[in-house]
Amino acid sequence: MGGSMRSPIAITANLAGLLYLARHRAGDEPELEESARVFLAAMDGASLRIVVSPAWLEVNGIRVPSDAPGVSAVNEQFHAHRVSRLEFRAPPEVSELLTLARVLSAYPGVHASWDDVRSALGPVAAKGFLTEDRSEFTVIHPADNAALDLQLGSSEEWAGIDSFVEQGGLIPPAVSLPVPDLKRTIKPAPKTEDPSKLERLKIRGHSAIDAEDWDSLLTTAQDFLIAEHEAVSESSARLYRLELRRLLSTREITQVARLAAIGNRRQEATRVLSQLGGDATEVLMQLLSETEALAERRGYYSALTNMTEGIEVIIHHLDSPMWFVVRNAAELCGEMRLEGSVPELARHLDHADARVRKSIAGALHRIGTREALDPLARMLKDPAKSVRMQVVGNLDGVRGRALAMPLMSLLQREQDGDVIREVLHALGRIGTADALMALRSIANGEFRQLDRKQRIQAVEGLGLAGPAAHELLRDLTGSRDDELASTAANLLAEVTN
């Protein structure tokens, strides 16, 4: 590993800062170039390989803690543009890095396909820096049984963001579809009400419906919402809300929902849907289950995460007899942090389809309440490797501390090497005293059922624990196993510089 600057956390944070600048300060070339140079300095002249999945991000084969600065933003931007891997066999030119940053920082939907991404990259596309994510979106149609997993990343901000900004880093916001705030663009309410406004809006709405002019209908629906806000009394505002809901039957809501999934009016349509209550939520869930087009599924999923009413509709779909509907509902429960869904999610821990159980594990982790920990611990015994990997790969920090002992118990019986590796790394990310002592014991060869490769993985786990493991790593640099000692020394150098 050699160099002291090549820290996965620093690389991730600097990449996130570069993407932020490319999106929000695109015209500031000196600052962009300086940010690119800082990122290249973090590479320290070496090769770089960043791989993303729905639940984690790896830099040069090392899992970066999910709460580290920039992880969420980088993960989400890569997924938004169907990128599974960024790889530099040697440091790129500053101009090449800036081209990549401008493309990867674009808002979701700007590049509708992988061909659009390559076209935006221009000559840089031929360098092969980016690898297309050919896996399917997590919302699956019955015909797509063989599709792989993809989740949208979390839209929560990172812990420690303030301190990172103070040190010169800039973290981009989450990339979930923004919903315009009408209140910021609406003029103050007039002192008197125009008695004919409501009737004019109703006539416009019915005319648009008769002509099947869904764009005009969306514009009219927006004007209903503006009129509601400008109403001089609550009773008048309530009348606009009532008439809008009367105007839009399930058929019309479905057409507005389609505009929220594709096209250039997604934000406006999402705003309108968010005001239509449980009826809109039901329509979106139905469309999500029926459509085969990947872009539309992503659009419906994004619109659903902005719904505030009718949430029970999503939870109700956990009881569907169709596996893909249950899976979609579980993913949404997690994305929307629906704490009330935990008992229902827990009821399906024994679902016959491992894809559903894997989605439930991801949802429980995202919800992250105390009530979610018990079902997560039970899922450590799931017969499917993919489910156990999902549970273990998500654990870190405060949320995972209650599962440190179950993880150590899992080591006693687990036979799969990949799962064992993830358990060892998870113990390091959790970082409790018991977890770190267990890793030291494994590194010292006291767990005879674990081989030499897994002893080194235990050392890697200590490297993920931060300052709490410095002394343990320092002790291991004196190991008689040269590779183990070298691994400990390199990790210690990285975390202390």
Q: What is the pLDDT of residues 87-137, one digit of tens each?
A: 998 889 999 999 999 999 887 666 767 888 888 898 888 888 998 887 654
Provide DSSP, 172-198: PPP-SPP---HHHHSPPPPSS--TTHH
Residue with tokens 């267990």: 438
pLDDT value for 54: 63
161 or 494, which is more confident: 494
Give the C-alpha separation, 439 to 468, whole Å: 13
Q: Taking a C-beta distance cutoff of 8 angstroms, is the pair 289, 324 a contact?
A: yes
Q: What is the pLDDT of residues 196-209, one digit of tens each?
A: 899 999 999 999 99
Give the C-alpha separation, 457 to 479, whole Å: 15
Amino acid (1-letter code) at residue 147: A
- Confidence label for 29 from pLDDT (cuts 50, 70 and 90): confident
pLDDT value for 170: 38
pLDDT above 90: residue 281: yes
How many other CB atoms sit within 10 Å of the CB of residue 454? 18
As a whole-number percent, the residues of the chain with pLDDT over 90 amount to 51
Pairs from 158-163 (Cβ < 8 Å, separation ≥ 24): 158/67, 158/68, 158/69, 158/70, 158/71, 158/72, 158/73, 159/67, 160/67, 160/69, 161/69
> Could you give the 3-state DSSP secondary structure of residue 158?
coil
pLDDT value for 317: 92
Residue-range domains of the chain with CATH: 8-166 (no CATH), 177-309 (no CATH), 322-386 (no CATH), 395-497 (1.25.10.10)
pLDDT-wise least confident of 99-113, 200-214, 259-273, 282-296: 99-113
Listed in order, strand segments (DSSP E) in 313-402 are: none
Nearest-5° Cα angle at 304, 374 to 368: 20
Read off the pLDDT of each residue in 384-396 and give the average, rounded to a whole number.
91
Give the C-alpha separation, 475 to 487, whole Å: 12
Q: What is the pLDDT of residues 157-194, one digit of tens each?
A: 333 333 333 344 433 333 333 444 544 444 454 456 67
Mean pLDDT of the chain: 83
Q: What is the pLDDT of residues 299-358, one digit of tens each?
A: 898 899 888 888 888 999 999 999 989 999 999 999 889 999 999 999 999 999 999 999
As a whole-number percent, the residues of the chain with pLDDT over 70 amount to 86
pLDDT-wise least confident of 100-114, 212-226, 390-404: 100-114
pLDDT value for 358: 96
pLDDT value for 109: 63
The CA-atom distances, in angstroms, between 104 and each of 14, 115, 128, 175, 356 are: 14, 14, 15, 11, 30
212: left (phi over 0), alpha (psi -120 to 50) or beta: left
pLDDT-wise least confident of 1-5, 230-234, 475-479: 1-5
pLDDT value for 225: 93
Which strand ranges, in their side-by-side order, compose the sheet holding 83-88?
A: 62-64, 57-59, 48-52, 83-88, 130-132
239 or 4, which is more confident: 239
